[in-house]
A and B are shown apart, each in its own frame.
Chain A
Amino acid sequence: MNFYRTSALALAVALSTPAVALEGGFAYATTADTLPAGKNDFSTLLTHRWDKTVGSYKANDFLFRWEHGLTDRLTGELAIEAFNMKAKNAFPLDSAGAEVYPLDIDVSKVSAYKGALKYNFLSVYKDGIGLAIGVETLYRTWYPRVDGAKTKQFSIEPKLILQKNFLDDQLVTVFNLAIESERRQFPEDDATENEFAIKFNGAFNYRFAPNFYAGVETLRTSDILNGEYNHYAFFAGPTMTYGSENFYVTATYLRQLQGSPSYSLAAYPIGIDPITSAGYDDDLHLEEDTKNEFRVKVGFNF
């Protein structure tokens, strides 16, 4: 049981923390912009995740985030994360007929605490291309993916942020690359694991009317667990933003378009019951990921 849970936790962290983002525009990706010194951005991100094909699975992640301009180029962030999850018969049994994950889940927890910094090296408005480097640290006590298990995890995530604007800044494109290094323990057996999660975000939006932006976001995650490649998942979908003087709302829908098989022998050497796992797509990763995600970000500047 611990092996399965550990593996799932290791595989899932890539999507566990929303990307640091400022000023709306994207719900998953982030721009190279930083806040001016002394200015603040308070945002709430609600991510609804659903559908693993088999059974029912619905989860909501909540992130409450405060960002502050430490200097004109350096922005600091503090955030707290919570989640709730309801699932029934969403996971297959193993080949011996035992539960890999609980079949009936109903859990709500405050799950993680995060601090981050982002430094802007090049301004997209002045230098032609935007370049920022960010670093996030996270302490997690409950895992919001898979079955919402208790855990104790520390992670650090350096991030490269590139931005290029076109059409007098009406068309914004961003590319993020983050590598999250995680070290986690499980209270049940005090085992420790190490993992690298590699995350790519590519996105664009276009200001098609005053205050309104529309575009596309993509997200690709891949995990390396204890030195071995484990799985990947690729998401893409539309995004729309309304931004004004003090307030912005961004909504993004992501659909998983491709991913590693949900329950492979590499992750589950003893195998998964072919009957209870029937229906899981071979080309999607539905163990800790879902088919769909919808995120709404609401932010205020002051």
Chain B
Amino acid sequence: MRGVRELLAVATAVYASAGYATVYFNVEQAQNTLLPGAEWTAVPLTLSDAQRKTISERSGVAVRNADLKIWRAASGESFYIDQVLGKHEFITYAVLLDASGAVQAIEVMDYRETYGDQIRNAHWRAQFRGKRDGAVLKLDSDIKNISSATLSCKHITDGVKRLLATHALLSTRV
């Protein structure tokens, strides 16, 4: 077992020197990037079990976290921060919805995987612009896949679909 310990020690040492998370935006930076100059009011919400079930049925995507991070601008826009599964880590991203509930922009706030960060590409993210609750939001249908980042593309697409269903359900409260 000594060999195992040595292997783990080497692995830990290499990881400590090579591995670190990449954070691109904090909340304030993401808000200022997606809607410069807006004043945001936090409106955090916790979904009930019934709401989670409704959202899952509506979007076809499981609701992993009942606690929502939502901000609303005086001009009517809504700003969501969400997380989806990456290969090993979570991917944190922000979604800006206009006053009508359509996607105005999305932004990847942190990405902690070795590869797949092509989802940060502006052209790929722009595919979500104008999407509303009920949109297909499926890879190789209305969202083009990036072949070397399929898992990230799928999970972000599913996440946006879930948030749109969430927003539609809660729009009277948000």
Which A residues fall within an 8 A CB radius of B?
Answer: 23, 35-37, 39, 44, 46, 48, 60, 69, 72-73, 123, 125-126, 167-170, 207, 210-211, 243-249, 296, 298, 300-302
Contact = CB atoms under 8 A, between A and B. Distances in A.
A287 B8 CA distance: 31
A60 B20 CA distance: 33
B62 A167 contact: yes
Nearest to A39: B115
A254 B3 CA distance: 19
Contacts of A211: 88-89
Contacts, number: 92
B85 A46 contact: no
Chain B interface residue count: which class?
A: 35 or more
Given A72-B148, A244-B89, A245-B88, A60 B3 contact: yes
Contacts of A207: 85
Nearest to B3: A46
B19 A247 contact: yes
A210 B114 CA distance: 16
Contacts of A37: 148
Considering the complex of A and B, which 4 residue pairs feature the smallest CB-CB distances, nearest first?
A: A36-B148, A243-B88, A301-B114, A246-B19
Contacts of A302: 18, 114
A248 B19 CA distance: 11
A44 B114 contact: no
A170 B85 contact: yes
B63 to A, nearest CB: 10
Contact of B147 (A73, A210, A300): A73
A298 B114 contact: no
B25 interface: no
Interface in B72-121: 85, 87-90, 112-116
Contact of B139 (A126, A210, A247): A126
B88 A125 contact: no
Contact of A46 (B7, B15, B115, B140): B7
Considering residues A37, A167, A168, which has the most beta carbons from chain B within 10 angstroms of its beta carbon?
A168
Interface in B1-26: 1, 3-4, 7-8, 10-11, 14-15, 18-21
